Chain A
Amino acid sequence: MNPITFSFNIIQDLKLMLGYGFMLHAFEAGTIVAIIAGIVGYFVVLRRSSFAAHALSHIGFAGAAGAVLMGVNPIFGLLVFTSSGGIIMALLERKAASRDVEIGTVLAFMLGLGVLFISLYSGYATEAYSLLFGEILGISSANVTITLVAGLVILLAVSLIYHPLLFSSLDEDVAEAKGLSMIWIGILFMLLVAVATSIAVQVVGVLLIFALMVTPAAIAMRLSKKPFRGMMISVAIALLVTWFGLFVSFYEPYPVSFFIASAVFLLYLLTRGLQKITNFSLTERK
């Protein structure tokens, strides 16, 4: 149990909290991940690619298991497996909309490898648990640096291909006729999702990846029909719930990912509920 209690002086509380190295690291990594997940998640939802994000995080699990087996930092296993898995998926099927079968096929194969790695490594249970549900409070400063580098690469990549990515998400055939390569955009997009899920797994884990990669963007899309604004709202929501989760978990002995997943789910319900009410009153007035 944590002996420190919440004092209602948030500035004071934060000061105290960030005085602990592990909390500072968690806030740093959590902030980077939330920004990246909010942005990439927007495209994931726009391109109807939640299944790809789901599959890539699970593939990352297999990669991390392999890395642990070889005595390497799991984040490298995550990055290598999700990236190669993403590229294979993009190459197998050009059209993002009809990629389900290819994703499922690659997912099954990679998870098969994961099972092998786990069976080969005896002391795996706790490692597996933190991969599945996230272990942000234990993140090392080396991993914070890796997360920062990965985050900056994604930001740079998204800002370079923003228009083509958006165009191909909305009107694939016209974008192709305009000279954009759907193969390359598909590969780049899957790489973005791969790297984003790899770093997000550290915060929410493989099983809760949607809490940061899908739900904030889904809420944002209900709140704004302008892509850039939507992306910023998605980032804001991801940041809000991540900070909230970290803050609360400092006082409560429950997992951060639980607080994040619950907070974002409540926001989602709230948005839908409020929209139902406003739509209802609008139609009534007519």
Chain B
Amino acid sequence: MNKTSEGMITAKSLAASYDGKIIWQDANFSIGRGEFVAVLGPNGAGKTTLFRLLLGLKRPSAGELSILDEPPKRGNPRVGYVPQKHLIDNEMSVEAIELVKLGISGGEWGFVIPCRGECEKARMMMRDVGAEHLSERSLGSLSGGELQRVFLAEALVSDPDLLLLDEPLASLDIRRQGELVQLIRNVTKSRNITALLIAHDINPLLPVLDRIVYVANGKVAIGKPEEILNSHFLTSLYETPVEVLKNSQGRIAVLGVEEIGHIHTHEHQL
């Protein structure tokens, strides 16, 4: 199959704003089927906002956005989603597999208790994300990394074409981050799913990602890692000096970004 010829997401002169305040604008990009894309940028830059547009939870303030040649719509079964925030606390004594089942039946009206396929599907999905042994555990007893696997199964169980993951690595240690990234890469590749993953640290994603969407300074840029992650490009994006450092193992550090983020939030408040 020719991978990038089929467009999964297309954005043309896209802009997002809240109550008239523009978050970012003039975004032009297209993302193909099966691509693994990291979405980077400082806090408050508008990464989650981009997801909200793709999920149809928010309308663009300008421009066009399409998923598989259709405008985004809420409840699109072709989009799977793992949000940043979850309700689950350690008192949540419901089996993990129940959440995965709801990934299929959660939107259905009416009351049917016997499983009609969703139980088997949910079980197979848990197996595919290496979480079979967690099925009967209560959600509240799972660790951060285990929960992310369950959320991944919940998002994938309805067979989406596009997977949106909002900071799934946030509360994990470096080893768990690496494992989860590999897992996401494997399941999305074997199903030819396009994945967009919001992250703070690019390093765990470097071995697997195809391209980077960089949201900052009211703009959205897209490119290959080497095109985006260099001092020259980021300096022109931010319009202020940014330095990209690389150590001998290939780990990357972007310096100056978070400070700039702060300056910007100040400017908005003034």
Question: Of the 9-residue stretches A25-33, A146-154, A166-174, A190-198, which lies at the interface with chain B?
Answer: A166-174
Q: List the B residue with the shortest CB-CB distance to A167.
A: B106
Contact assessment for B95 and A166 in the assembled complex, using a CB-CB cutoff below 8 Å: no
Contact assessment for A163 and B102 in the assembled complex, using a CB-CB cutoff below 8 Å: yes
Contacts of A180 in B (CB 8 A): 75, 106-107
A210 to B113, CA, bound (A): 28
Residue of A158, A174, A230 touching B81 (CB-CB under 8 A): A174
Contact assessment for B93 and A174 in the assembled complex, using a CB-CB cutoff below 8 Å: no
Max chain B CB contacts within 10 Å: which of A161, A164, A225? A225
Question: Which residues of B come within 8 Å of A, CB atoms?
Answer: 55, 57, 74-75, 79, 81-83, 85-88, 92-95, 98-99, 102-103, 105-111, 113, 136, 138-139, 154-155
Contacts of A169 in B (CB 8 A): 87
Contact assessment for B75 and A179 in the assembled complex, using a CB-CB cutoff below 8 Å: yes
Does A160 sit within 8 A of B, measured CB to CB?
Answer: yes
Contact assessment for A225 and B107 in the assembled complex, using a CB-CB cutoff below 8 Å: no
A164 to B105, CA, bound (A): 8
**A2 → chain B, closest Cβ, in Å?**
42
- The interface bits of chain A over 223-256 (1 if a CB of B lies within 8 angstroms of the residue's CB, else 0) are 0011110100000000000000000000000000
Does A127 sit within 8 A of B, measured CB to CB?
Answer: no
A158 to B113, CA, bound (A): 13
Residue of B95, B138, B139, B155 touching A174 (CB-CB under 8 A): B155
Question: Which residues of A come within 8 Å of B, CB atoms?
Answer: 46, 97, 158-164, 166-167, 169-180, 221-222, 225-228, 230
For the complex with contacts A164-B108, A170-B99, A225-B94, 7 further pairs of A-B residues with Cβ separation under 8 Å are A158-B111, A160-B110, A173-B81, A177-B55, A177-B74, A178-B74, A230-B94
Contact assessment for B85 and A175 in the assembled complex, using a CB-CB cutoff below 8 Å: no
Contact assessment for A167 and B102 in the assembled complex, using a CB-CB cutoff below 8 Å: yes
Contact assessment for A171 and B102 in the assembled complex, using a CB-CB cutoff below 8 Å: yes
A179 to B111, CA, bound (A): 19
Known contacts A171-B99, A171-B154, A163 near B113 by CB under 8 Å: no
A43 to B108, CA, bound (A): 18
A159 to B113, CA, bound (A): 10
**B86 → chain A, closest Cβ, in Å?**
7
Residue of A174, A178, A227 touching B94 (CB-CB under 8 A): A227
Known contacts A222-B93, A225-B95, A175 near B113 by CB under 8 Å: no
**B84 → chain A, closest Cβ, in Å?**
8
Contacts of A177 in B (CB 8 A): 55, 57, 74-75, 79, 81, 83
Known contacts A171-B86, A174-B81, A161 near B93 by CB under 8 Å: no
Residue of A170, A226, A230 touching B87 (CB-CB under 8 A): A170
**A188 → chain B, closest Cβ, in Å?**
12
A270 to B208, CA, bound (A): 52
Residue of A159, A163, A166, A178 touching B75 (CB-CB under 8 A): A178
Known contacts A167-B107, A177-B81, A228 near B113 by CB under 8 Å: yes
Contact assessment for B106 and A178 in the assembled complex, using a CB-CB cutoff below 8 Å: yes
Known contacts A179-B75, A225-B136, A163 near B107 by CB under 8 Å: yes
Known contacts A177-B75, A177-B81, A227-B94, A172 near B107 by CB under 8 Å: no
Contact assessment for A170 and B111 in the assembled complex, using a CB-CB cutoff below 8 Å: no
